[in-house]
């Protein structure tokens, strides 16, 4: 089966080959707005600098402000880059790539555009997958993809920072408008070849889906976050539950679909956000390098957006740190908001790097306790199933053949008539790994609002019971948090 947007205009790249993104945006503008574009107009629109590959943020921000609904998936951490600049690039990429970014692109001019980008664009910081592209097409979007044209063209000519426009699917192929260096409309490219040109599973490609937006059909919480960037979506959902956000004078749920005629009223005073409240968390261990906390359920590990209206583990650590700053200062790893238990934070930059390396190498050993529905078939087993983001619900994940490898060991500790108490030892650290794995095998964790089935509990029954890790002094410790 195939699907394709009909009559998507095609624009070739400029002869010098460094304006493929502008050619793609011209196609998007004409398709949705019905207006032909001149390359010179697009250059002005996007702030193009001659001789430098145009980064996409300025154009994306302007398009979002003009009424485009834009969803972006890429692993580049714009928040971190905004605070660290070239230092972030040098930590994330080989020196050769850093030099290319600085010399061949306008990346160092992006900082003024980052805050409005995070405010107006639905941005997911992760490596993009083929399923992300599928989901955007299904959602009625045209999809731009940055990739290596040299790989796409089977090692023939082509720039590394090339942009194509995916306009549809045909069986196992994507249909793309390729602006050049050999311009070709409606080009058929296999799914595997596109992923290879993007850089494989751990790619750094930017995938962006475009369609026109209106208030109509938009979720209330999405609408509020867009218009009140200081609020995180989780906090907006809390305000909805407390009746501090009204639609036509009535309290509604965060997922309420708005109509253009709806009147949205927020009773919450945003001035409260100017001061983050203090929080006192139970400490299991502390020395000059780190602090180990028994995180209560409901406490956020770190801020998710540009601002945070609530106390977090990060804000608790901030006053204890010596040479680390930023919204995630001292955060080594994270626990989901509803998960309780052991979490370790750093107090110095050296300790932060030392501890993070152990998680990256999978040397840190974590043990969780959970209550799940039903009785598992085997008393002990390994769940070895790859996990990918759910393109239809980007805030959630699922088991999928194109996902990243994920392995969980479990052991049944106790059973009642309806439930089982299990010990869980993740050997990888994928987002929501334990919750996704247990739900997929038919035994969701009690109280899981994302992956649970049936009635919810009064909380997520998942607890980080212990953490074995080597501290910067060279001593290995096992920290435990009682249930």
Catalytic machinery residues: 336
How buried is 153 (Cβ within 10 angstroms: 0-12 exposed, 13-18 middle, 19+ buried)?
Answer: middle
> How many of the other CB atoms lie within 10 Å of CB of 2?
10
Q: Helices (DSSP H) in 301-432: which residue ranges?
A: 313-318, 349-360
The number of C-alpha atoms within 13 Å of 214 and in the hemisphere containing its C-beta is 7
- Whether 217 and 257 have beta carbons less than 8 Å apart is answered as yes
Give the chain's radius of gyration (CA, Å): 24
Contacts of 393 (CB under 8 A, 6+ apart): none
By the 8 A CB rule, do 471 and 289 touch?
A: yes
**Tokens encoding 285:** 């261990």
Q: Please check whether residue 61 is in contact with residue 121, taking contact to mean a CB–CB distance below 8 angstroms.
A: yes
CA-based diameter of the chain, in Å? 71
Tell me the C-alpha distance between 83 and 79, whole Å: 7
Structure tokens at 75: 């692993």
Integer Cα distance of 454 and 435 in angstroms: 15
Q: Which residue has the tokens 């290879």?
A: 196
Strand 122-125 and strand 184-190: the pairing is unpaired
Q: Can you spell out the DSSP letters for 384-422?
A: E--EEE-TTSTT-EEE-TTSB--EEEEEEEEE-SSEEEE
* Structure-token match 């509803």, residue found: 338
Query: Pick from 342, 368, 336: which is nearest to 355 by CA?
Result: 342
User: Which residue(s) pair with 345 in the sheet?
Assistant: 291, 331
> How far apart, in whole angstroms, are the C-alpha atoms of residue 177 and residue 179?
6
């Amino acid at each position: 089966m195939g699907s394709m947007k009909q009559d998507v205009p095609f624009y070739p790249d400029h002869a010098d080959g460094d304006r493929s993104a502008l050619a793609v945006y011209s196609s998007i503008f004409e398709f949705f707005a019905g207006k032909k574009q001149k390359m010179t107009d697009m250059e002005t629109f996007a702030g193009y600098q001659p001789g430098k590959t145009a980064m996409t943020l300025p154009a994306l921000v302007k398009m979002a402000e003009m009424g485009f609904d834009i969803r972006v998936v890429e692993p580049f951490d714009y928040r971190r880059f905004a605070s660290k600049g070239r230092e972030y690039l040098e930590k994330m990429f080989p020196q050769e790539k850093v030099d290319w970014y600085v010399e061949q692109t306008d990346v160092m001019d992006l900082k003024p555009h980052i805050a409005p980008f995070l405010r107006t664009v639905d941005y997911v910081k992760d490596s993009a997958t083929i399923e992300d592209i599928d989901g955007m097409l299904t959602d009625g979007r045209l999809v731009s993809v940055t990739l290596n044209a040299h790989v796409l063209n089977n090692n023939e000519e082509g720039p590394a920072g090339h942009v194509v426009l995916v306009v549809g699917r045909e069986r196992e192929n994507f249909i793309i408008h390729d602006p050049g260096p050999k311009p070709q409309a409606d080009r058929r490219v296999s799914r595997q070849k596109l992923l290879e040109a993007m850089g494989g599973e751990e790619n750094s490609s930017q995938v962006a889906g475009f369609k026109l937006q209106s208030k109509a059909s938009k979720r209330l919480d999405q609408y509020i976050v867009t218009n009140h960037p200081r609020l995180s979506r989780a906090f907006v959902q809390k305000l909805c539950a407390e009746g501090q956000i009204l639609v036509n004078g009535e309290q509604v749920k965060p997922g309420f679909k708005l109509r253009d005629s709806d009147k949205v009223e927020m009773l919450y005073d945003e001035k409260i956000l100017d001061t983050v409240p203090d929080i006192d968390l139970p400490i299991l261990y502390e020395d000059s390098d780190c602090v180990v906390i028994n995180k209560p359920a409901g406490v956020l590990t770190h801020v998710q957006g540009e601002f945070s209206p609530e106390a977090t583990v990060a804000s608790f650590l901030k006053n204890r740190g010596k040479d680390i700053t930023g919204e995630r200062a001292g955060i080594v790893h994270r626990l989901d908001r509803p998960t309780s238990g052991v979490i370790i934070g750093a107090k110095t930059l050296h300790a932060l790097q030392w501890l993070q390396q152990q998680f990256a190498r999978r040397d840190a050993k974590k043990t969780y306790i959970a209550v799940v529905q039903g009785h598992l078939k085997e008393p002990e087993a390994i769940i070895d199933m790859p996990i990918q983001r759910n393109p239809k619900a980007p805030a959630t994940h699922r088991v999928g053949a194109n996902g990243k490898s994920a392995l969980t060991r479990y052991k049944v500790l106790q059973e009642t008539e309806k439930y089982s108490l299990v010990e869980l030892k993740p050997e990888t650290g994928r987002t929501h790994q334990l919750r996704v794995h247990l739900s997929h095998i038919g035994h969701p964790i009690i109280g899981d609002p994302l992956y649970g089935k049936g009635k919810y509990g009064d909380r997520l029954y998942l607890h980080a019971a212990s953490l074995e890790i080597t501290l910067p002094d060279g001593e290995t410790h096992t920290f435990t948090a009682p249930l």
